[in-house]
């Protein structure tokens, strides 16, 4: 799709009338949903409207891999109603030597009521069973403080300390008052780091040593397991994080991050917790925390580029030419700063930022890039289309000719000899240029 310079980008709404989604995109690749077993289900807006789905739970009935508990009397349903209030305060003290002392304090009050109902089914005469519980945290405090030292404009060093909490209902799983009365879990985070800028501020390197402690962790002690769960568990992790971020040239932006987890161990558990026989530990105290990678990272360098000419189908069934590139915007423009799709074409530089749900279509050979996102999160979907007409110039001529033909039809009518003749010319050109 071509556009004159300074003409605003726009997209037509093709409607949302589909009851089923057959394909999805992961990164910049398109694939069949059936090729991603038990990992993704799309509940379309059409399905939600037609089935009159009013809640998330109703929509999840159509999601593979999610089931709702069944009791001996029938089905079980949960109802949750909650309220939360919080207030924050912060302060900053600047020192004469270029240092800053920062601090903040947050207060939360949380209250939630939950009711679990077991519904009798047609095969039993047992009445419905109802269990109600209430969670209440009248006062929860969390705070953070830090010291920032910036000797020059291109370097800074910091030390930070902060606390946070998780309530007993953070996973909506408390169903009895006994569990609801458990205090909140707590965490403490400590970090020592530095930031150095290079290339006149275009490139930044950052490194930090960190330690995270989780205490007052949910666990079970044998002396109180039958009456009151005691939060006595504790674990910690510590390591090093490093990243490089910046725009090396006007066309190239780089992002590299790496984290090394030096240690992640369990420090304390309840007496009723026993380790698995295959763990090799007599107790879980001192055992490593599972499912945590020692090395992790990410890298991206994505400046001006042209999309690859061919995409290979995942099922090995052939190849697809990327004649036409498509970008579907999924975030509203006011949700992020930056992130414009910038294209270089014969009309100059085009910077495009569309509302969520709008689609931009452009030739696959276009030189384009995405500007850095400086605030918020930009979500978009990318995919490609193989045209029946291989040449972009020929597609443009056919598009222009068809547009003029539609204008002539509206003024002269379908039976006008000139309209009939030009329509025949259009289809003859299409027959000549078709690549199928």
Query: How confident is the prediction along the chain (436 residues), in pLDDT tens digits per residue?
Result: 333 333 333 333 344 444 444 444 434 444 443 443 333 445 556 666 666 666 655 655 544 444 444 444 444 455 556 666 667 777 787 877 778 998 989 888 888 777 776 666 555 555 566 777 777 888 889 999 999 998 888 999 999 999 998 876 554 455 566 666 777 888 999 999 999 999 888 889 999 999 999 888 877 666 665 656 667 788 899 999 999 988 787 767 787 889 999 999 988 887 666 665 555 656 678 888 877 888 988 766 667 888 888 887 766 667 888 888 889 999 999 988 888 898 887 667 888 999 988 888 888 888 888 887 878 888 898 888 888 888 888 988 998 899 899 999 999 998 999 999 999 999 999 999 988 6
Same domain, yes or no: 146 and 279: yes
Task: Determine, yes or no, domain membership for 411.
Answer: yes
- For residues 21-40, one letter each, b for 16 or more C-beta atoms within 10 angstroms of the residue's C-beta and e for the rest, the string is eeebeeeeebeeeeeeeeee
Same domain, yes or no: 339 and 404: no
Task: Determine, yes or no, domain membership for 3.
Answer: no
Same domain, yes or no: 277 and 136: yes
Domain that holds residue 147: 76-301
Lookup result for tokens 């004469």: 96
Task: Determine, yes or no, domain membership for 111.
Answer: yes
Same domain, yes or no: 286 and 343: no
**Which residue, 301, 326, 349, sits at the end of a domain?**
301
pLDDT at 98: 73
Same domain, yes or no: 205 and 342: no
Same domain, yes or no: 320 and 398: no
**Which residue, 7, 33, 67, sits at the end of a domain?**
67
Task: Determine, yes or no, domain membership for 7.
Answer: no
Same domain, yes or no: 115 and 206: yes
pLDDT at 209: 96
Selection from 55, 57, 60, 54 nearest residue 41 by Cα: 60
| Cα gap 271→274, rounded to integer Å | 8
| Cα gap 343→304, rounded to integer Å | 9
* Residue 55 per-residue DSSP state: S
List CB contacts of 106: < 8 A, sequence separation 6 or more.
Answer: 86, 87, 88, 89, 141, 142, 143
Residue 349 maps to which CATH number? 2.60.120.620
Residue 194 maps to which CATH number? 2.40.170.20
pLDDT at 212: 93
Number of domains in the chain: 4
| Cα gap 335→376, rounded to integer Å | 6
Task: Determine, yes or no, domain membership for 419.
Answer: yes
* Residue 305 per-residue DSSP state: B
Residue 436 maps to which CATH number? 4.10.860.20
Same domain, yes or no: 57 and 136: no
pTM, full prediction? 0.53
Same domain, yes or no: 425 and 360: no
Cα end-to-end distance, the chain, whole Å: 21
| Cα gap 230→224, rounded to integer Å | 7
Selection from 58, 48, 142, 148 nearest residue 101 by Cα: 148
Same domain, yes or no: 112 and 251: yes
Same domain, yes or no: 157 and 206: yes
Same domain, yes or no: 254 and 239: yes
Task: Determine, yes or no, domain membership for 121.
Answer: yes
Task: Determine, yes or no, domain membership for 278.
Answer: yes
Task: Determine, yes or no, domain membership for 224.
Answer: yes
């Amino acid at each position: 799709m071509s556009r004159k310079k300074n003409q605003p980008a726009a997209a037509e709404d093709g409607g949302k009338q589909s009851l089923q989604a057959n394909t999805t995109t992961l990164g910049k690749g398109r694939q069949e949903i059936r090729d991603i077993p038990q990992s993704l289900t799309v509940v379309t807006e059409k399905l939600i409207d037609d089935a009159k789905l009013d809640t998330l739970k109703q929509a999840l009935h159509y999601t593979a891999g999610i089931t709702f508990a069944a009791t001996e009397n029938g089905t079980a349903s949960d109802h949750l109603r909650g309220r939360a209030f919080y207030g924050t305060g912060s302060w900053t003290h600047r020192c004469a030597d270029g240092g800053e002392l920062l601090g903040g304090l947050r207060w939360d009050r949380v209250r939630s009521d939950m009711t679990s109902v077991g519904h009798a089914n047609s095969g039993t005469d047992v009445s419905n069973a109802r269990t109600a519980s209430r969670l209440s945290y009248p006062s929860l405090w969390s705070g953070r403080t830090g010291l920032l030292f910036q000797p020059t404009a291109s370097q800074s060093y910091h030390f930070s300390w902060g606390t946070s909490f998780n309530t007993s209902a953070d996973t909506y799983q408390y169903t009895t008052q006994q569990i609801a009365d458990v205090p909140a879990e707590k965490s403490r985070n400590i970090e020592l780091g530095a930031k150095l800028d290079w290339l006149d501020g275009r490139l930044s390197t950052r490194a930090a040593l960190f330690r995270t402690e989780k205490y007052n962790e949910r666990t079970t002690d044998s002396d109180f397991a039958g009456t009151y769960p005691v939060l006595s568990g504790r674990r910690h992790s510590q390591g090093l994080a490093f990243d490089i971020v910046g725009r090396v040239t006007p066309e190239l932006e780089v992002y590299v991050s790496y984290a090394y987890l030096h240690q992640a161990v369990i420090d304390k558990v309840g007496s009723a917790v026993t380790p698995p026989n295959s763990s090799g530990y007599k107790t879980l105290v001192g055992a490593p925390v599972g499912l945590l990678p020692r090395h992790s990272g990410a890298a991206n360098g994505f400046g001006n580029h042209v999309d690859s000419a061919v995409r290979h189908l995942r099922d090995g069934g052939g190849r697809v030419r990327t004649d036409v590139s498509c970008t579907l915007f999924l975030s509203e423009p006011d949700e992020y700063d930056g992130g414009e799709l910038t294209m270089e074409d014969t009309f100059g530089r085009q910077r495009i930022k569309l509302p969520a749900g709008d689609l931009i279509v452009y030739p696959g050979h276009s030189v384009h890039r995405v500007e850095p996102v400086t605030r918020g999160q930009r979500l978009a979907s990318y995919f490609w289309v193989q045209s029946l007409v291989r040449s972009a110039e020929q597609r443009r001529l056919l598009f222009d000719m068809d547009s003029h033909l539609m204008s002539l039809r509206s003024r002269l009518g379908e039976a006008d000899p000139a309209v009939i003749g030009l329509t025949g010319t259009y289809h003859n050109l299409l027959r000549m240029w078709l690549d199928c």
